[in-house]
């Protein structure tokens, strides 16, 4: 068998797996022989069908709820063995002018995107320590690097993930648990529907608008992010630690 660099023995837990980037990551890892567990809020027909198609298991839970994450991880390990790879991809986004942003919605964004990653890593870490190694990839956003009008909560939560990734990378690398992140630019996913509604245009129009500011002259595809995540999870690459891989068509080139 060709060595793909991915862990094909222990479980790979992928959050926000139902569509978009999460679905692309699932398909990429499954094709490489990884045993995937697919997390989303609920075990929808779409998630179950994807699991069947990719020979994966379904692991529904609201990642912002620590008790639910604990139960999900515990059941997953009891039934399928230790978790060796974690991909934190689940996210929630709304857009509104700063003074109009509802406080409860602010915390929903932060608790899903930032606290959700905290919950997942804390619950999965003992399993990785039992293996003596692990890979964690956290999906941030280039909006977490640059900020974005009308997306204060989302950008702030994703900026928090950048520091989270860097700090965890330094703390866990001595144990062979490698933490990195990826900051997608504008990607053609259902999440663009939020942007389109905020701008009062169609999804096709918002993609065209965003493309004009991108040197590559197009928005990215979920499969491109999946390739980046697979690269960061490659067990043959152990000295890349706390890095934020930027996949954005050249729009953002700052060091983070």
Q: Which domains does the chain have, with CATH numbers?
A: 11-185+221-247 (3.40.50.720), 189-219 (no CATH)
In this predicted model, what pLDDT tens digit does every residue of 163-213 receive, in sequence order?
999 999 999 999 999 999 999 988 988 888 888 888 899 989 988 988 898
In this predicted model, what pLDDT tens digit does every residue of 95-117 receive, in sequence order?
899 999 999 999 999 999 999 99
Q: What is the pTM of this model?
A: 0.94
Q: Does the active-site annotation cover 142?
A: no
Q: Which strand ranges, in their side-by-side order, compose the sheet holding 244-247? A: 57-58, 35-39, 11-15, 83-88, 134-139, 177-184, 244-247
CB-CB neighbours of 129 under 10 Å: 15
Average pLDDT taken over every residue of the chain = 94
Instruction: Kindly state the average pLDDT of the residues 217-245.
Output: 95
Instruction: Kindly state the average pLDDT of the residues 220-247.
Output: 95
């Amino acid at each position: 068998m060709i060595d793909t660099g991915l862990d094909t023995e222990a479980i790979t837990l992928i959050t926000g797996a139902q569509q978009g980037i999460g679905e692309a990551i699932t398909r990429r890892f499954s094709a490489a022989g990884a045993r995937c567990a697919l997390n989303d809020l609920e075990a929808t027909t779409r998630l179950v069908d994807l699991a069947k198609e990719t020979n994966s298991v379904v692991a529904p839970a609201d990642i912002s709820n620590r008790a639910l994450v604990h139960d999900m991880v515990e059941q997953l390990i009891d039934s399928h063995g230790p978790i060796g790879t974690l991909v934190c991809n689940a996210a929630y986004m709304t857009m509104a002018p700063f003074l109009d942003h509802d406080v409860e919605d602010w915390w929903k964004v932060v608790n899903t995107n930032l606290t959700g990653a905290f919950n997942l890593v804390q619950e999965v870490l003992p399993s990785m320590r039992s293996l003596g190694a692990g890979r964690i990839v956290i999906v941030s956003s280039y909006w977490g690097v640059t900020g974005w009008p009308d997306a204060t909560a989302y950008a702030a939560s994703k900026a928090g993930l950048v520091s989270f990734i860097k700090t965890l990378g330094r703390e866990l690398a001595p144990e062979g648990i490698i933490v990195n992140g990826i900051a997608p630019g504008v990607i053609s996913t259902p999440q663009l529907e939020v942007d389109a509604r905020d701008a009062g245009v169609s999804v096709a129009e918002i993609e065209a608008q965003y493309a004009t500011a991108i040197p590559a002259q197009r928005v990215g595809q979920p499969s491109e992010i999946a390739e980046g995540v697979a690269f960061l999870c490659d067990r043959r690459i152990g000295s890349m630690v706390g890095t934020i891989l930027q996949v954005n068509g050249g729009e953002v080139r700052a060091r983070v």
